[in-house]
């Protein structure tokens, strides 16, 4: 394997881990990191095929690449989880600017999810 393929594979695994973290943290994006990982793995067909064999990641990559909308259930679950975690976080923070920042991030992520839900790339 050439050096550039190794570096891209390492970057792909790094982005894949960051994307996986986004599944658990509501303000951490998942889709951009998964797409970056797929782009890095594209230089090595075996790695790309392996990531595409993981149903969770395959759904993200294929839906985004083909401009397909997300299932309504996925959108609803994502938005409920996002806002529940943001509200819990805001409840434990007493600093107004942090609460405002959480709200702004929540609105931004909500817009992003709704754009993907309609099948548009955000």
Per-residue pLDDT of 77-104, as tens digits, reads 778 888 888 898 889 888 999 999 989 9
Tell me how far apart the alpha carbons of residues 33 and 17 are, in angstroms, rounded to a whole number: 8
Closest alpha carbon to 113 in 84, 58, 71, 57: 71
**Predicted confidence (pLDDT) at residue 5 exceeds the cutoff of 70:** yes
First-to-last alpha carbon distance for the chain, in angstroms, is 34
Sort 1 into a burial class: Cβ within 10 Å, 0-12 / 13-18 / 19+: exposed
Report the pLDDT value the prediction gives residue 119, as an integer from 0 to 100.
Answer: 65
Q: In angstroms, what CA-CA distances link 46 with 58, 77, 93, 122?
A: 15, 32, 46, 28
Residue pair 118/69 in contact (Cβ under 8 Å)? The answer is: yes
Rounded Cα–Cα distance for residues 114 and 44 (Å): 32
pTM for the whole structure: 0.57
Name residues whose C-beta falls within 8 Å of residue 26's C-beta, 6 or more positions apart in sequence: 81, 82, 84, 85, 86, 109
For the chain, the C-alpha Rg in angstroms (whole number) is: 16
Choice between 106 and 25, residue whose per-residue pLDDT is larger: 106
pLDDT single digits (tens) 14-54? 988 888 887 777 667 777 788 888 888 888 888 888 888 88
Residue 65 has pLDDT above 60, yes or no: yes
């Amino acid at each position: 394997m050439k050096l550039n393929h190794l570096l891209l594979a390492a970057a792909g695994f790094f982005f894949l881990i960051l994307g996986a973290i986004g599944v658990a943290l509501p303000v951490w994006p998942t889709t951009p990191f998964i797409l970056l990982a797929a782009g890095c793995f594209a230089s090595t067909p075996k790695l790309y095929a392996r990531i595409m064999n993981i149903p969770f990641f395959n759904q993200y990559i294929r839906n985004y690449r083909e401009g397909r909308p997300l299932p309504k259930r996925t959108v609803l679950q994502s938005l409920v989880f996002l806002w529940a975690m943001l509200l819990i976080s805001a409840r434990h923070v007493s600093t107004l600017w942090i609460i405002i920042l959480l709200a702004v991030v929540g609105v931004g992520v909500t817009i992003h999810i709704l754009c993907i839900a309609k099948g548009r790339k955000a």
